Amino acid sequence: MVVTGGPLYLCGPTASGKTALALALAAEVDGEIVNGDAFQLYRGLEVLTAAPGENEKKACPHHLFGVIDPVESMDAAKYAAMARGVIDEIRSRGKNPIVVGGSGLYLKFLTHGVADAPPADEKIRAELESLSVGEVYRRLRELDPEEAARQNPGNHRHVSRALEICLITGGKASELRRNFAENEQAKGLSGVVLSWPRDELAERIQIRTHRMFAQQVVAEVEKLPVGAATIRQAIGVREIEAYLRGEQSLKECEARIVIATRQYAKRQRNWFRREAWLKSVDGRRSVDEQVAVVIAQGWPQYGRS
């Protein structure tokens, strides 16, 4: 087979069924799966992040899963550089890369390039790190309410970076984001997003969270090294560590993870809704039907194998 187009980007909120569709597509079009999830890059949180299991990895080649040590830091720019190299290598062998994930910023940097954001200011960064996430978010909301509405109020790193951009430039991080979107080179991109009604997705999230606890996710989090700062931003880590400290019951811990995951899924849906190049695929369809829809939408150009 000759690969005539770029990779397919398979996006969607957490628990939307991306893994099952990716495996079916890979089998159909001689594809290989490339991770597009920020936390599935790390080793040690396979259960919490619902990373593909060993049987799934045996079905077709998987790339960039569990390749980063938990104590390492990662960002969207580093990820994009890694993923581009992997995608080029897959295509050089005549295979079709299928980039699968729900981390909007990571996928944005990969598809459209790195935004021209100002470099870090160590003095400002140190000041913001000394503040609570609530205080940082309050200041961001005052300076740039549009950007604040996009951010997770509990993610200190992301909220601080947005506020840092405002303080360095004297402008707004949301304006930088708009300029980035206006200058993006989205031509030729092929991508789909799995869509679910809100209530049905919420139920899937609850089921998957309950399954994680049955798969010993608590023991997985307990093994994380002390210095793993970035990976502790993953939903569930801080909640489980609070349980391990005796600050809440296991039932309360699970409930809080469900709530946080639903909130994250809402932000994901909003993010992907703004990406006009992504074509919606109904998550309620069977996997075979989903594959047929993706192929019918024109990817890959040679059609079915």
Domain ranges in the chain?
8-113+184-296, 122-180
Percent pLDDT > 70 in the chain is 90
**If you average pLDDT over residues 7-20, what whole number do you get?**
96
In this structure, which CATH number among 3.10.28.10, 3.40.50.300, 1.10.260.40, 3.40.50.970 belongs to the domain 8-113+184-296? Answer: 3.40.50.300
8 A C-beta contact, residue 200 and residue 284: yes
Read off the pLDDT band of 20 (50, 70, 90): very high
Contacts of 197 (CB under 8 A, 6+ apart): 284
Read off the pLDDT band of 167 (50, 70, 90): confident
Going from the C-alpha of 281 to that of each of 16, 18, 292, the distances in angstroms are 11, 11, 10
Q: How many CB atoms lie within 10 A of CB 272?
A: 21
8 A C-beta contact, residue 300 and residue 96: yes
- The reported pLDDT for the residue numbered 1 is 38
d(CA 115, CA 113): 6
**If you average pLDDT over residues 139-146, what whole number do you get?**
90
Contacts of 151 (CB under 8 A, 6+ apart): 137, 140, 158, 159, 162
Which architecture characterizes domain 122-180 according to CATH? Orthogonal Bundle (1.10)
Percent pLDDT > 90 in the chain is 63
pTM: 0.79
Helices 237-244 and 250-274 pack at an angle, to 10 degrees, of 170
Q: How many CB atoms lie within 10 A of CB 93?
A: 10
